[in-house]
Structure 1
Amino acid sequence: MKKILTWALVLPLTASVMLSSCKKDDDDIPTTPTPVNNPVKGKTLIGKATSDSAEIDIRVYADEALFVGYNKIYVMLYEKGSDKQIMKAEVSYDPMMSMSGGMNHSCPIENPDMTAPKDGLFEGAIVFVMPTTAMDGWTLGIRVHNLVNSKEGSAEMSVTVIEPTDARMYSFVSPVDSKKIFISMLEPAKPEVGMNDFVVTAHFKESAMNWPALEDLHIEFEPYMPTMGHGSPNNVNPVHMKDGHYQGVVNFTMSGLWQLFMTIKDNQDVVLDDANSFYLNF
């Protein structure tokens, strides 16, 4: 009887010790850390600057080194001297080309249209119309209205703009009204065999500081493989979507060098230019 009683007391105690040990072992298992989203991963840091009057540190990023054509521009804002991000602000861009002859000019811009950034990034775009040279250089001004402390200010940085191997923008003078018009190709950024979005923007130089979007053009194009001597079917001409952005579809039936013959017409179907092309090689 004593043996039975002893085992009855020992078994629950042993089970309790085993459960406690298991729980401790479970607590010791390292947990997988939650991935931290890095919104600038894969992007290129263009420059840093500080606006003392707005009490903001500014960091500017792009998808790659700045080039002649349409560049997406991303701005991150921090409280001056800290790593605390500012998530409520109004941001605008002020690119400026200083020419050796004393003439300065800007270029087309798309300012961020949000006061609360996506993933901490205020996103807009700049269409640089010429490259940096030994004598002529670009600066990029960033204007900020800090909605946290209601202070405003700006900062400026020097930036380098390169001429890409394959042109992503061309310009011409309209025979109708002598406007200088700039056509930039945004997509396909990574062309592949099959159907691809074909997106271009159109702007014109109204003055040295004002470069509005053109929203009433008729744009046609024809893809052609100069090394193979053929085109492709089922392409869709770009139509205006918003803010000078025109979207269509281009069909690449095989990889290789493609030439996209461009025809730009006004809203009366008068041909403004049909002498330019974009080239894609993949």
Structure 2
Amino acid sequence: MNLSKQVFQFLVAFSVVLYAIACTEQNSQKKHVGANGAAAPAIPDESKLIAIADTVYKGLTFKVYADAKLDNKYHTVYLQVKDKEGKPFNSSSLDYYPQMDMGLMKHGGPFEHPVALGEGWYRGSMVFIMADIPDMGPGWHLYTTLETKGKKDTIALKLPVSAAKTMRTMSSGTRDDSRVFISNLLPDTLKQGKHPIKFLMSRMEHHDFPPLDGYLIKLKTNMPAMGHGSSGNKDAEAIGQGYYEGEVNFSMAGQWEIIVELWKDGKKANQDDIKYQVYIIK
């Protein structure tokens, strides 16, 4: 093999290596691979989110986004923080939580502490257990806490929460855990057939709502207009942190209801009826 051919092959191989390294770096930046090698949560596509609120505090800009316009349901809420130069602001001390101010009283709602996604983005899920009530207090806020230079600051951002068209969060008294809140994470409309179903269950403790495990959520589907249900439903079992997963089957198009029973230690525990409405299309 002559020298020129060897040089050519070397340059080709070297170019392939450089390309592979560049691709790896780009993928790493997109996925934000952590120190343990596992891919961290991805940075959200801002164009696919709904802008909810924003404010400026001590040179930092806080912007709240969500998966949809907020109503009294389960939502994924994002916070983006930038410094006065417009650069992403990352902090391991940042936290946030929802709170409803009704004037004479305040209460929170079920929520998950935010996960830092990188590039100034944070993500957390929460349930707004009721809509804002006109002329009854300021309503819902996202309270963001941040520690800088040994001092803890709290920033409040107003969250407009409207009444949901279809109820997805219900409450019931129980035998052992007082009043609990059960959020159904299904959309209002689904296609005919089988679907995984997920719930978040929380216990009410004064104004806090810690996650509640240890139950079995029994499921039954019913089509009131036709007077029948459907087979193939699987009861929702606890998977941790208050979440439960099961499966529901809708055998034809039309209006359906999902009837829920909470069971604990082999006995029915809910004291109130729990039903969710869902519209099925072909």
Please classify the TM superposition score into its range, dividing by the shorter chain length: 0.7 to 0.9
Aligned 1:63-78 pairs, distance under 5 A: 63-78=67-82
**How far is the alpha carbon of 1:228 from its aligned partner?**
2.2
**How far is the alpha carbon of 1:42 from its aligned partner?**
2.4
**How far is the alpha carbon of 1:86 from its aligned partner?**
2.5
Whether the 8 Å contact between 2:82 and 2:120 is mirrored in structure 1 is no
Matched, 1:44 2:42: no
Out of 92, 95, 100, the residue aligned to residue 97 of structure 1 is 100
- 2:185 aligned counterpart, secondary structure: strand
Which residue is 1:213 aligned to? 211
Whether the 8 Å contact between 2:113 and 2:124 is mirrored in structure 1 is yes
Q: Percent identity?
A: 25
Which residue is 2:160 aligned to? 160
- Structure 2 residue identity aligned to 1:91: L
Which runs of 5 or more structure 2 residues have no equivalent in the other structure? Answer: 1-29, 31-42
Consecutive aligned runs of 4 or more in structure 1 exceeding 4 Å deviation: 149-152
CA distance in 1, matches of 2:118, 2:45: 9
- Structure 1 residue identity aligned to 2:53: G
Matched, 1:281 2:279: yes
Which residue is 1:15 aligned to? none
248 and 131 in structure 1: CA distance in 2 versus 1, 3 angstrom threshold: same
Whether the 8 Å contact between 1:204 and 1:211 is mirrored in structure 2 is yes
159 and 251 in structure 1: CA distance in 2 versus 1, 3 angstrom threshold: same
CA distance in 2, matches of 1:125, 1:38: 14
- Structure 2 residue identity aligned to 1:41: S
**How far is the alpha carbon of 1:251 from its aligned partner?**
1.4
Aligned 1:79-94 pairs, distance under 5 A: 79=83, 81-94=84-97
Out of 245, 251, 257, the residue aligned to residue 253 of structure 1 is 251
Aligned 1:68-217 pairs, distance under 5 A: 68-79=72-83, 81-100=84-103, 102-112=104-114, 114-115=115-116, 117=117, 121-134=121-134, 135-136=136-137, 137-145=139-147, 153-174=153-174, 176-177=175-176, 179-188=178-187, 191-208=190-207, 210-217=208-215
* Count, aligned residues: 238
Whether the 8 Å contact between 1:39 and 1:121 is mirrored in structure 2 is no
229 and 192 in structure 1: CA distance in 2 versus 1, 3 angstrom threshold: same
Whether the 8 Å contact between 1:219 and 1:263 is mirrored in structure 2 is yes
The CA deviation string for residues 229-265 of structure 1, in whole angstroms up to 9 with x for no partner, is 2222211111111210001111122222110011112
155 and 229 in structure 1: CA distance in 2 versus 1, 3 angstrom threshold: same
118 and 224 in structure 1: CA distance in 2 versus 1, 3 angstrom threshold: farther
Which residue is 1:9 aligned to? none
Rg comparison, structure with higher value: 1
CA distance in 2, matches of 1:226, 1:132: 31
State the TM-score, normalizing by the size of structure 1.
Answer: 0.76
207 and 268 in structure 1: CA distance in 2 versus 1, 3 angstrom threshold: farther
Matched, 1:243 2:249: no
**How far is the alpha carbon of 1:124 from its aligned partner?**
0.7
The CA deviation string for residues 56-115 of structure 1, in whole angstroms up to 9 with x for no partner, is 211111111111121111111111x33222245443223222223x21111111111x34
CA distance in 2, matches of 1:140, 1:97: 9
CA distance in 2, matches of 1:128, 1:152: 26
244 and 83 in structure 1: CA distance in 2 versus 1, 3 angstrom threshold: same
119 and 228 in structure 1: CA distance in 2 versus 1, 3 angstrom threshold: farther
Which residue is 1:19 aligned to? none
State the TM-score, normalizing by the size of structure 2.
Answer: 0.76
- Structure 1 residue identity aligned to 2:259: F
CA distance in 2, matches of 1:184, 1:38: 24
- 2:190 aligned counterpart, secondary structure: coil
**How far is the alpha carbon of 1:172 from its aligned partner?**
1.4
CA distance in 2, matches of 1:150, 1:43: 33
- 1:183 aligned counterpart, secondary structure: strand
**How far is the alpha carbon of 1:145 from its aligned partner?**
4.4
